[in-house]
A and B are shown apart, each in its own frame.
Chain A
């Protein structure tokens, strides 16, 4: 069945069955509601005056539309962030036991992944002592769960005001942590073989729900 260009009825014309069948019946069955089969169907044209239904993807799947491999038929494709990214920064002094540098909470839906991108710096000026090994540790947590940790080992020379600096950049995809609100944190501390100055830190964290 195909769409027929609408008929202009004129005065005195007989409503012949063929006329009504062609321009009313056959056109009605080409409309979207006639073709709708299930909730979530959307409709696209695959030729002039001809619609097709495209069933919806699985529940909660964020998709865009693209032409399929045949270059004609649309399909659901891709992904999208489920919310805008959230972001926080922190500064302070690092201690010798692990503590938060920066924390960012995000509430995610069931089935979501969380992409974390974070960076930080610890910098200190050694004030005294004879040792020369300094550890600046950066770790990424989800609440109280350690996701991973980097140990940046630096050589801090003897003498007053001899500095050492560690820079850190981390990316983590937290796959399907489950529905809920989570605090993602950059945590850190330092250890040194000798007395050092207390490091200062700066850290940033961004969280994306995908």
Chain B
């Protein structure tokens, strides 16, 4: 049914069924009459409405289609504000021999993809440097109890007394609905018994950013 210009009622006018059917037809063009399922009303042209459908839990935004004659639900906005955890610069107890958590952050997803951005920088001044020391440095990205990726840094220190590693991760995780904890874990292995770490512990920085898309 096409829209017609609303009738102007005037005094002493006989209101005919034609006029009232015009009113009926206009009511049929309104949003409540045209709504048939969950959706968003938009103009499909002058004086005409249509509905953009939304799938359940689809987390969409709107756009004009490529012909610019309809509105459609589209895109993948962030499903929630990013979650951030940060370990600011300072001395920490860097684990020896076996991994332990350095920093963690949790996110509850409804089934979107989780983008994990993580970074860890650690530097350590070593003393009692002997001949041919070899150290290993492990920095792991973990989801709950599952290791996603480990960077292993092996260095020969020679005459250097400072051991520094920095690791950046970008990981896209596809998980079902639930709450997940992402962790930066680390430890070091020292193959030279003459080598001892600085008394106050290494300096470290770490962060984790979680996005749900």
In the complex, which residues of chain B have a beta carbon less than 8 angstroms from the beta carbon of A3? none
The answer, among A63, A83, A87, for a CB contact under 8 Å with B63, is A63
Q: Does B154 contact A (CB under 8 A)?
A: yes
Q: Does A152 contact B (CB under 8 A)?
A: no
Interface segment, one of B83-91, B145-153, B197-205: B145-153
B149–A62 contact, CB under 8 A?
no
Q: Does A123 contact B (CB under 8 A)?
A: yes
The answer, among B10, B76, B151, for a CB contact under 8 Å with A81, is B76
A42–B43 contact, CB under 8 A?
yes
Q: Which residue of A36, A65, A155, A164 has the most chain B CB atoms within 10 A of its CB atom?
A: A36
Q: Does A20 contact B (CB under 8 A)?
A: yes
In the complex, which residues of chain B have a beta carbon less than 8 angstroms from the beta carbon of A61? 63-64
Closest chain-B Cβ to A80's Cβ sits at a distance in Å of: 4
Interface segment, one of A5-13, A114-122, A137-145, A187-195: A114-122
Q: Does A72 contact B (CB under 8 A)?
A: no
Closest chain-A Cβ to B120's Cβ sits at a distance in Å of: 11
B45–A38 contact, CB under 8 A?
yes
In the complex, which residues of chain B have a beta carbon less than 8 angstroms from the beta carbon of A97? none
Q: A21-B9, A87-B171 are in contact. Are A167 and B153 (CB under 8 A)?
A: yes
The answer, among A28, A56, A63, for a CB contact under 8 Å with B26, is A28
A17's closest neighbor in chain B, by CB? Answer: B9
B61–A17 contact, CB under 8 A?
no
Q: How large is the interface on B (under 10, 10 to 19, 20 to 34, 35 or more residues)?
A: 35 or more
A110's closest neighbor in chain B, by CB? Answer: B66
How long is the Cα–Cα vector from A80 to B27 in the complex, in angstroms? 36
A81's closest neighbor in chain B, by CB? Answer: B76
A33–B47 contact, CB under 8 A?
yes
Q: Does B105 contact A (CB under 8 A)?
A: no
The answer, among B23, B63, B155, for a CB contact under 8 Å with A57, is B63
B153–A40 contact, CB under 8 A?
no
The answer, among A60, A81, A82, A169, for a CB contact under 8 Å with B66, is A60
A165–B69 contact, CB under 8 A?
no
Q: Does B184 contact A (CB under 8 A)?
A: no
How long is the Cα–Cα vector from A64 to B63 in the complex, in angstroms? 9
The answer, among B23, B30, B64, for a CB contact under 8 Å with A40, is B64
Q: Does B67 contact A (CB under 8 A)?
A: yes
The answer, among A25, A34, A81, for a CB contact under 8 Å with B47, is A34
B68–A40 contact, CB under 8 A?
yes
The answer, among A56, A84, A204, for a CB contact under 8 Å with B170, is A204
A85's closest neighbor in chain B, by CB? Answer: B172
A164–B76 contact, CB under 8 A?
no
Closest chain-B Cβ to A146's Cβ sits at a distance in Å of: 21
Q: Does B195 contact A (CB under 8 A)?
A: no
Q: A29-B6, A61-B63, A85-B115 are in contact. Are A204 and B31 (CB under 8 A)?
A: no
B213–A85 contact, CB under 8 A?
yes
How long is the Cα–Cα vector from A59 to B67 in the complex, in angstroms? 7
How long is the Cα–Cα vector from A82 to B40 in the complex, in angstroms? 20
Q: Does B129 contact A (CB under 8 A)?
A: no
How long is the Cα–Cα vector from A85 to B173 in the complex, in angstroms? 10
Q: Does B75 contact A (CB under 8 A)?
A: yes
Q: A15-B15, A25-B9, A162-B156 are in contact. Are A80 and B61 (CB under 8 A)?
A: yes
Q: Which of A78-125 contact B (CB under 8 A)?
A: 78, 80-87, 89, 117-119, 121, 123, 125
Q: Which residue of A21, A40, A86 has the most chain B CB atoms within 10 A of its CB atom?
A: A40
How long is the Cα–Cα vector from A83 to B213 in the complex, in angstroms? 9
8 contacts between A and B (CB under 8 A): A17-B13, A32-B41, A40-B42, A61-B64, A64-B61, A85-B113, A202-B151, A206-B171
Binding site for B on A (CB under 8 A): 15-18, 20-21, 24-25, 28-29, 31-34, 36-43, 53, 56-65, 78, 80-87, 89, 117-119, 121, 123, 125, 155, 157, 159, 162-165, 167, 169, 202, 204, 206
